[in-house]
Structure 1
Amino acid sequence: MKNKPFNLFLIVLVTAVSLWSLWPTWRDYSLSQQMDRFASAEDSLKFSISHRDEIENARRKSLKLGLDLKGGMHLVMEVDQVDLFEQKAWNKDARFHAIMAKVRQKAATSDAGVIDLLAAEFRKENIRLSRYFYDIRNSDREITGKLQKESEDALTRAREIIRNRIDQYGVAEPVITTQGTRRIIIELAGVSDENRVRNLLKGTAKLEFKLLREPEVLLRVLDKLNTSLASQGSVASPAAVPDTSGRAVPAAGTLLTAPPRTAAAARPLNDVLTVLQNGNVYVSEESREFVSRLFQRDDIKALVPQDSELLLAAKPDQLPDGRNYYSVFLVRKTAELTGGVITEAKASFSAEGAQPEVLMEMNSEGTAKWARITGANIGKRVAIVLDGAVYSAPVVQSKIPNGNSVINGIGSVDEAKDLEIVLKAGALPAPVRIMEERTVGPSLGADYIRAGMLSMMWGFIAVSVFMLLYYRTAGIAADMALVLNILVVLSVLAGFSASLSLPGIAGIVLTMGMAVDANVLINERIREELAEGKSIVSAVAAGYDKAFSSILDSHVTTLASAYLLYTFGIGPIQGFAVTLMIGTAASLFTAVVVTKEIFTFMISKNILTDKSFG
């Protein structure tokens, strides 16, 4: 028998490609081990920043573990259709807001469709939908049809934007499906920072550039609000008030501390705000939630100029008393520019290298508008608002003609990366809420990994020992083919960024049995040929020829079954089917091509003889 150059080349190529595909997995493991060896978190962070590209590249291309092995999160999220329909309405008045409030209340406690609830509430009030939606000439049936289409499009867009965010975050093989008309089911494997993922998924990413009103206007508005609150029965107290830690803080002209939590709701606004000599207004960290809810009240909004709104900073500043305070801003309600013009976002560090920030680039339309806005407002402040919170409000120093802008005031590198992700992925069409959340802990994942790896190891050892004992020297070829078979399966999973789950391990174990079964058929045919007195060369050739049809039939039927499982199955069943399909194809290759070339080599070196098959 002579070696076929093509077969040898094919075996070398498959082996090389498999090792190349698994190299990022090994590199990812090595880099993770290096990071774990650092004594401090600061050193580990510096290492991750300096090797950011290499770490991200290895992590992106490495073999990922599924939710059942690595642990992670299972979430059910719901698109806020009431908010979506409020955005689509026009000519909104108090009656419209009252109706939508009733719809929101009913939607929270009912499984009925939001559109059905909306239409029923309008019928109850004897108002046509066309008064607020689309054209006056449209019938209620036509409008509900259009709203249904808007709802379906919003769910689809939300799913794709969430998928883009998750892909950029680096979660392998996320499972993202829709349920009904407003819910999205998400499974994320290997997630450790749960709060970060929640914020990443919930954030609408509505980016706006808004002009700030003058400081004196802000102070007049706050004074007006305070007067109104005092007239409603709030208790004014210009004297020093104790903070939550019991310290006395002077009230007049310096930093005011939030009153105790039990009394916060009953005090006027000036008792929870701090006004500095430069006109900047702050609210203490303890009172932020109270003031935020206050600014959302309809009676408070009515006291603010119609073209303006009150917003709080996204991040606190530390003032001279050593405590955290959030800035209060009065901005123009109409945005000068929105995030739709952003084409690129990149997390970076400030010129001094101390603070993380996000650099943004705009398209041609945004560049032209940004140049006009900055040119017309030199010396004024422009607030960069994301999801209703002000990240920064820089003073425009000069006209910006190149369409670049920066978001600073960011607390950490991770937060900067998350902002980069949501800006790249785009804004959600409507807010989404987490309705259900389940977490698979890392200890459970570790148990699964240990059990899965042990099953693979013992399965491989049992099969290998059996082949060596039963077929002696000929069993070596089967064992070598088995190693390559497992290598190919894992490399294909890694190469296509698929994840290895517990059902996937079951598929690999089953694949090992199939691979050995094919070798058993071949070896038994060779034994029969040797029993008839043929030479080892003739017996091997005849054995492969006679066993080929049986091997092909069994592998084709297994592939067909695995394909049907993948097509009609979900979740774990699909994971099993994928590894089974890959393993079956690899088994056919190793059984028919690899072992034959090994036998040919062994015969040429007189390693394989008539006595080698037991």
Structure 2
Amino acid sequence: MKNNRFTGILITALTALALWSLWPTWQDYSYSRKITGFTTVEDSLKYHEEHREQIEHAAEKSLKLGLDLKGGMYLVLEVDLVDLLRERAWNKDAKFEEIMSVVEQKSAGVNTHIISLLQEEFQAEGIRMSRYFYDVRDTDEEIVGKLEREASQALSRAKEIIRNRVDQYGVAEPVIQTQGARRIIVALPGISDQERVRKLLRGTAKLEFKLTRDRESLLDALERINAYVQSAPSEIGAAEDTENPLYNHVVVMDNGRAYVPDYSREMLQKLFQQDVMEKLLPKDSELAFSARTIEGRDAGRYHDLYMLKKTPELTGGVITEAKATFGASALQPEVTMKMSSEGTSKWARITGANIGRQIAIVLDGAVYSAPVVESKIPGGSSVINGIGSLEEAQDLEIVLKAGALPAPVRIIEERTVGPSLGADYIRSGLLSSSWGLFLVMVFMILYYRKAGVSADIALVLNVLFVLSVLAGFGAALTLPGIAGLVLTIGMAVDANVLIFERIREEIAAGRNFRMAVDNGYSKAFSAIIDSQITTLGAGFLLYIYGAGPIQGFAITLMIGTAASLFTALVVTKGIFDLLISRNLMNEKSFG
């Protein structure tokens, strides 16, 4: 009797807990229906504002839907390990660039190990890798080992940084995982602003503080580049002024400032990245464009052109805090930054030594601002302005907080699932699951009568437990997850059928009903445990080695298997014990 009471309390408590876990999902659904039910947008906004806190809490705690059900973005990112290798090389002669070009061509579109390709090319050329990487005394095998570790760390670091950016952006239940040697899969449910997400994910966020060269040095360098372009006019295409072809694309003002039309930026960027620039520019110098454009007298858009010291005075690694805000004076979006203690002391020394000079704040190669240092800055603070919108400032805050990517990433595959398609999937999935559950329940009642009713109660609780666990742990329900749920329904039925048939065998052998039930459960126990543990193991392996949809299926399968074990061995037995103790079930009513 005590066991029956304990079983009843356990089942009741777990059922109440499951309903409590799913209550926010019901609230979220109810709020959505109310908001969409208003006839005017103003009424919807007013209702949302009045119940903002409750709506946001319900949405946060509700059962999440995966990318295939809710709609969103699926992207495959590729980490540019070739660029990483170029950075790691201490010798970058023409032969090295030739080898890297071959490696880049062979690896294009193939998710292969870059380091292996690199080693093969060096061996084919008969050149030791120590000529370009690490210590000249290192063997090729030692260098390959070091580069492979760096490549692996770069991939892991890129994944971690992308996850941090996505989390700070506020995407519910993203899927972020590595694939092969240099790819990262990113699935983002419920995304509407796709272009913003693209920029957020592929931005390297390489922040540098660089001294600017004086205007005279910039103008002298432009003269040398113009002379070079005169001798190689194909570098910038056909020019109206063949004597000064560069100045068809660069406007120099009386004050010495230089501007580049927005339509010429990409072409000049390629020119300025050529190796010949090392001869044309002062030592340790580079040319860079402003991130923002300004409107010229001809209504065109122009970038500021800067010449910077190539070696940064400080990098973004010292940034400990970033905050998007509006400037106190101009009320323009900006990002304020705080530095570490080490960065603070360096920043104070740098600003103190360069009073009256410009220090450019450079992010991913673009100059966001280049303020003149008016005095020593001891507090370790800095500001990035020249930002187009508060949204852009907030995205910049996110990438600065998450950190810089170890190497550039590019989007090599992108798919978008529309919300309407997701809604169709939901309807189809729910319809098929509901019909499947209904037909199984009808069959169980027709075939096993009262025992079938107990099995049906167990089935309903099984589904309830699975959904509540998904909601409670913040997991997402996906279309493969619905398939896993349907499969667990079948497995739960299978376990009940196994038990009921054993009970029938005991009744046929002449046992009284009480003993037949106990023996039936005992004899079916080992078979049920064996099959369910095997299924759990299969689900675990699918989750560990699978990706995306496979993992969604595996999660639901594992939760459903555990739930079906409980409902088959505990719930139905508890119902049987209750009915038998009250003389509401015997062998005649068993079916």
Distance change in 2, residues 1:520/1:136 (3 Å): closer
Counterpart mapping for 1:395-474 below 5 A: 395-396=372-373, 398-412=375-389, 414-467=391-444
Report the alpha carbon displacement of residue 455 of structure 1 after superposing the two structures with TM: 1.1
Deviations 1:113-158 (A, max 9, x none): 6445545655676654333322222334433443333333333433
Which letter does structure 1 place at the counterpart of 2:538? L
- Does the C-alpha gap of structure 1 residues 562 and 573 become closer, same or farther in structure 2, counting only changes over 3 Å? farther
Matched, 1:176 2:177: yes
Paired amino acid for 1:293: K
Q: Map Cα deviations across residues 519-550 of structure 1 (whole Å, 9 max, x no partner).
A: 5667788899999999xxx9679736642552
Q: Is 1:512 aligned to residue 489 of structure 2?
A: yes
Matched to 1:488, the amino acid is F
User: Displacement, 1:489?
Assistant: 0.7
Q: Which residue of 1 aligns with 2:161?
A: 161
Contact 1:71 1:445 survives alignment (8 Å): yes
TM superposition score normalised by structure 1: 0.77
Aligned to 2:64: 64
Q: Matched residues in 2 for 1:396 and 1:32: separation?
A: 53
Corresponding position of 1:559: 533
What secondary structure is seen at the aligned counterpart in 2 of 1:297?
Answer: coil
What does residue range 165-244 of structure 1 map to in structure 2 within 5 Å?
165-169=165-169, 170=171, 172=173, 174=175, 176-179=177-180, 181=181, 183-190=182-189, 191-230=191-230, 232-233=232-233
2:306 paired with 1:329: yes
How many angstroms does 1:375 deviate by? Answer: 3.8
Report deviation, 1:348.
Answer: 4.6
Alignment of 1:26-425 (within 5 A): 55=56, 62-94=62-94, 96-105=96-105, 107-108=107-108, 114-115=114-115, 118-119=118-119, 127-169=127-169, 170=171, 172=173, 174=175, 176-179=177-180, 181=181, 183-190=182-189, 191-230=191-230, 232-233=232-233, 268-275=245-252, 280-318=257-295, 323-351=300-328, 355-396=332-373, 398-412=375-389, 414-425=391-402
Query: Closer, same or farther in 2 for the Cα pair 1:89/1:164, shift >3 Å?
Result: same
Moved more, 2-11 or 404-413: 2-11
With normalisation by structure 2, the TM-score equals 0.79
Deviation, 1:366, is: 1.9
Q: Please point out which of 560, 567, 571 is paired with 1:583.
A: 560
Please state whether the residue corresponding to 2:553 is helix, strand or coil.
Answer: helix
The structural deviation recorded for 1:196 is: 3.5
Aligned residues: 579
Contact 1:382 1:394 in 2 (8 A): yes
- Residues 190-221 of structure 1: CA distance to partner in whole angstroms, max 9, x if unpaired? 25444344333332222212223334543443
* Structure 2 Cα separation of the partners of residues 17 and 290 of structure 1: 63
Contact 1:356–1:413 (CA<8 Å) still a contact in 2? Answer: yes
CA deviations on 1:240-276 (whole Å, 9 max, x unpaired) are: xxxxxxxxxxxxxxxxxxx9x9869988333334456
Instruction: Please say if residues 363 and 403 of structure 1, whose CA atoms lie closer than 8 Å, have aligned partners that are also in contact.
Output: yes
User: Which secondary structure does the structure 1 equivalent of 2:280 belong to?
Assistant: coil
Q: Which sits farther off after the overlay, 68-77 or 334-343?
A: 68-77
8 Å Cα contact 1:356/1:416 also seen in 2: yes
Q: Give the 3 Å change call, closer, same or farther, for CA 140–470 of structure 1 in structure 2.
A: closer
Report the equivalent of 1:570.
546
Deviation readout 1:451-507 (Å, 9 max, x if unpaired): 211111212332344455666777665444433322221222233333323232122
Residue aligned with 1:204, SS = coil
- Alignment partner of 2:484: what SS? helix
Distance 1:548 1:265 in 2: 96
Deviations 1:380-403 (A, max 9, x none): 433222221223334445544443
Letter in 2 for 1:308: S
Q: Does the CA-based 8 Å contact 1:473-1:608 persist in structure 2? A: no
Between the two proteins, what is the percent identity of the paired residues? 58
Q: Secondary structure at the match of 1:298?
A: coil
Describe the superposition over 1:51-86 as per-residue Cα deviations: whole angstroms up to 9, x where unpaired.
Answer: 79985x766654333444345555444333332222
Contact 1:525 1:544 in 2 (8 A): no
How many angstroms apart in 2 are the aligned matches of 1:594 and 1:339?
58
Bigger shift: residues 141-150 or 82-91: 141-150
Amino acid at match of 1:290: M
Per the TM alignment, residue 106 of structure 1 is displaced from its structure 2 partner at its CA by 5.1
Amino acid at match of 1:177: T
Q: Which moved more, 1:518-527 or 1:500-509?
A: 518-527
CA deviation after TM superposition for structure 1 residue 297, in Å: 2.8
**What SS does the corresponding residue of 2:404 show, helix, strand or coil?**
coil
Query: The residue matched to 1:213 in structure 2 has which SS?
Result: coil
For each residue in 1:557-603, what CA deviation from the matched residue of structure 2 results, as whole angstroms up to 9, or x when unmatched?
12322322431562444433321221122223234444566677789
Task: Report the more deviating stretch, 558-567 or 11-20.
Answer: 11-20
Distance across 2 between alignment mates of 1:216 and 1:91: 31
Q: Could you tell me whether the CA contact under 8 Å between 1:511 and 1:584 is conserved in 2?
A: yes
CA distance in structure 1 between the partners assigned to 2:213 and 2:238 by the alignment:
33
Aligned AA (1:285): D
Give the partner amino acid of 1:570.
Answer: G
Counterpart contact for 1:159–1:178, Cα < 8 Å: no
On the 8 A contact 1:566/1:574 being kept in 2, the answer is no
Alpha-carbon distance between aligned partners in 2 of 1:299 and 1:278, rounded to the nearest angstrom: 28
Change in Cα spacing, 1:103 to 1:596, as seen in structure 2 (3 Å) is closer
User: Is the 8 Å Cα contact of residues 544 and 592 (structure 1) preserved in structure 2?
Assistant: no
Q: Distance in 1 between matches of 2:223 and 2:476?
A: 58
**How far apart in 2 are the matches of 1:277 and 1:5?**
93
Runs (5+) with no aligned partner, structure 1: 236-258
The answer to whether the Cα contact below 8 Å between 1:555 and 1:584 also exists between their aligned partners in 2 is no
- Cα distance in 1 between the residues matched to 2:309 and 2:281: 11
Query: Aligned partners of 2:78, 2:192: CA distance in 1, in Å?
Result: 23
